[in-house]
Structure 1
Amino acid sequence: MSIFSLKMEIADNRHYNGQLSSLFTIDEAEKARAFHQKVEGYQPTPLQSLDCLAKEIGVGKILVKDESHRFDLCAFKMLGGAYAIARLLCDEYQLDINVFDFDTLKNDIKEKMTFATATDGNHGRGVAWAANKLGQNAVVYMPKGSADERVNNIRALGAECIVTDMNYDDTVRLAIKTAEECGWKIVQDTAWEGYTKIPTWIMQGYTTLAAEAVDQMKIHAVAKPTHVFLQAGVGALAGGVLGYLCDLYGAENLHSVIIEPDQADCIYRSGISADGGMVNVGGDMATIMVGLACGEPNPLGWPVLRDCATQFVSCQDSVAALGMRVLGNPLGDDPRVISGESGAVGAGLLVAAYYHPDREALMAKMGLNKDSVVLLINTEGDTDPVHYREVVWQGKHPTL
């Protein structure tokens, strides 16, 4: 295979202190997983072992948690949205989350509630799915340029879907304003002053996938990963999952790499800031990784990443496109993984580093060697099938 150069800015976390989060713990993860296990149709998503790819790039093991199989939604996001809505309703009706039942509650709700959110696609679909399961209403706002397939998937669940002429962060502000005016319940995966409970529940809901992966590693004779690569938009998934894994293994025992598109790298910029404060990114954030096209860090996730992440990465879109092609066209007997733009960037980073002219320096910087066990999260499948084909079949965003 050719040697090629893709843009990857890898920065050590200058603010690391290893302090664990009290919000994203083993106990909270098990509480969330117990809830998800009671949802009709629940099955753990597969943890795929890419042994041929691992051998090719000289690491011990590459494990991919494949969220493209999460229910019939092709992405992990429902884990957060459904759990948060359930917790919200338990508060509303004085119920115990440990005995929560979708069907019973659906019959007990006397007046329909409306849940509102802003989304790049997958989070809104998860909120619409949960509202549909409960016979409630959902209103979903999406930023300009949203793919028709993602819009149609949300509407197919009975939700109202409104595509704005704004970027993601401004769309969030519009959703909040409208929800307050209409008396709707806002279910958003980022936090702000006075709004932390629901996004905390959403992030705790995401930890189910990590708890599943920890159990599934035993099947692959893996005691624990040495590395975890986590993609970040606002940092909700990355913060929740890293918080849980650090509580389980200790931050000092896990090399964690947080990856973003260079057009929306607010976490990366926060990580290299002098004071460790959150840094916002504005503009259109025109990246193919639409699930990561967020310019303002989640203030609940950022402290976890600031304290426990090993490194932050800002990379060009071709890194994600490379990951889509690598996962969809596997080496040898490796299983095929259908991964969308935001889901594939971790695999893309691994391969882009290995085939870079500065391979040795990049692999050493990320601490990758023959003993490394790398955990990747494929957060979505081909949620935009048209663009998936453009990348994987037609070579959009080429490597060379």
Structure 2
Amino acid sequence: MFLLNTAADYRLPLDPRDQNTLGIAAAEDVEYYLGFREDHAITPLVALPGLARDIGVATIHVKDEGHRLGLGSFKALGGAYAVIRLVLEEAERRLARAVDMAELHSEEVRAIARGMTVACATDGNHGRSVAQGAQLVGARAAIFVHSGVSDERVAAIARFDAEMIRVAGTYDDSVREAARVAEAKGWTIVSDTSWPGYECIPGLVMQGYTALVREALRQMPEPPTHVFIQSGVGGIAAAIAGHLAIALGERRPVFTVVDPARAACLFETARAGHPVTIAHGEPTVMAMLECYEPSLVAWRILSRTADAFMTVEETDATGIMNRLAGPAAGDPAIVAGESGGVGLAAAIKAVADPSIKAALSIDGRSRIFVVNTEGATDPGKYEEITGLPPAAVTAKNVEGALT
């Protein structure tokens, strides 16, 4: 399915709140914070000239977030950043003075952090980031996971000393249960989705994601003309679209938001022209994108900055995993999880459909940018789909460099 943005506020300026959250100064704050992370390294921007030639565009660049902060997902940038900002803000309140990021590991700040508990609901990746952020500062973390989250992903979160709480139902059920318990216990919810009256913290999470956009713009020889970004509740798509609109202005690329067909809450929201909750259906292999209700803040941004919305099928998601694991001649292999390559799958699908290609003005000069939002965060599932362990795919690049 495909549709162009027909929202009433399409191409209007961003809400001032969102301009502040996703603007240049805010992105610089995120980069300043990352400078204090021992495990921080700029993630690679991978060119795929072979695939670009095959589908008839000028360039394809993939920002590979499978290498981010040891967590294998772009979400490493959001949850941990929000937790640390909240700890610093609480320290400023209690100490009645400005507290810099450089003081994060001081005994004064850590004593305050020890009295704080952060909580969230997760499909896996966001919870890992929140738990890691809490461990970094000495706070407690309580992570709510729904019945569809694999034991392997639960174990990956628990290794950060987080309390794991199983919830029957879907991701959206776990969001509601996390909010209920947190309110009762006085915990701070660090969610990557927003609802009426709860916008500031999801804004901090999205702010963390601007780092990958800043890096990519510096890494690319020219800005992209077309961007395809996958979406769960909308946070990553909104962060990238919003920051590109601010950074590039009238030169911003054509931006397409991509949903799984089985969990297309942003697509249906765009069709309706206002946020809608969709019915739960058959689970999607794109587990990190299986959301049935959009973030209100994300929609506020995307209604202005997204140009189009489209969906991909289950076979598109698994097909791109295999295509990246066994790439076109001359292209490096990329380890992409079940949700990681969805933006690229949509780009290939758009170019192959004459009507979509024309609607998006894609031609032989187009420069496509996508994000591999996760590596093999569930290695067992990855091998089941591709027939290869992640290490074997990575080894292809080493072998290629030696020959």
| Aligned-pair Cα RMSD in Å | 1.8
Shift of 1:104: 2.2
Higher relative contact order (CA 8 A, sep 6+): 1
Could you tell me whether the CA contact under 8 Å between 1:81 and 1:202 is conserved in 2?
yes
Letter in 2 for 1:242: A
2:244 pairs with 1:245: yes
Show the counterpart of 1:69. 67
Letter in 2 for 1:271: A
Shift of 1:184: 1.0
2:11 pairs with 1:12: no
Question: Aligned runs of 1:106-185 on 2, under 5 Å?
Answer: 107-109=110-112, 111-185=114-188
Structure 1: runs of 5+ lacking an equivalent:
1-8, 395-400
2:83 pairs with 1:85: yes
Shift of 1:340: 0.6
In structure 2, what is the Cα distance between the partners aligned to 1:45 and 1:132?
23
Distance 1:129 1:11, change over 3 A: same
Letter in 2 for 1:339: A
Show the counterpart of 2:105. 103
Could you tell me whether the CA contact under 8 Å between 1:324 and 1:340 is conserved in 2?
yes
**Secondary structure, in 3 states, of the residue corresponding to 1:381?**
coil
**Secondary structure, in 3 states, of the residue corresponding to 1:70?**
helix
Quick check: which one's helix share is greater? 2
**Secondary structure, in 3 states, of the residue corresponding to 1:272?**
helix
**Secondary structure, in 3 states, of the residue corresponding to 2:369?**
strand
Letter in 2 for 1:293: E
Letter in 1 for 2:284: T
Show the counterpart of 2:367. 373
**Secondary structure, in 3 states, of the residue corresponding to 1:115?**
strand
Identity %: 38
In structure 1, what is the Cα distance between the partners aligned to 2:290 and 2:172?
9
Shift of 1:351: 2.9
Q: Could you tell which deviates more after superposition, 33-42 or 92-101?
A: 92-101
Shift of 1:81: 0.9
Could you tell me whether the CA contact under 8 Å between 1:58 and 1:370 is conserved in 2?
yes
**Secondary structure, in 3 states, of the residue corresponding to 1:351?**
helix
Q: Could you tell which deviates more after superposition, 294-303 or 17-26?
A: 17-26
Shift of 1:311: 0.4
Letter in 2 for 1:283: H
Counterpart pick for 2:355 among 357, 361, 365: 361
Letter in 2 for 1:270: T
Could you tell me whether the CA contact under 8 Å between 1:86 and 1:97 is conserved in 2?
no
Distance 1:353 1:311, change over 3 A: closer
In structure 2, what is the Cα distance between the partners aligned to 1:253 and 1:113?
40
In structure 1, what is the Cα distance between the partners aligned to 2:192 and 2:343?
21
Q: Could you tell which deviates more after superposition, 121-130 or 159-168?
A: 159-168
TM-score (norm 2): 0.89
Letter in 1 for 2:166: V
Distance 1:380 1:101, change over 3 A: farther
Distance 1:110 1:263, change over 3 A: closer
Letter in 2 for 1:59: V
**Secondary structure, in 3 states, of the residue corresponding to 1:55?**
helix
Could you tell me whether the CA contact under 8 Å between 1:39 and 1:102 is conserved in 2?
no
TM-score (norm 1): 0.90
**Secondary structure, in 3 states, of the residue corresponding to 1:116?**
strand
Task: Count residues with an aligned counterpart.
Answer: 377
Q: Could you tell which deviates more after superposition, 15-24 or 336-345?
A: 15-24
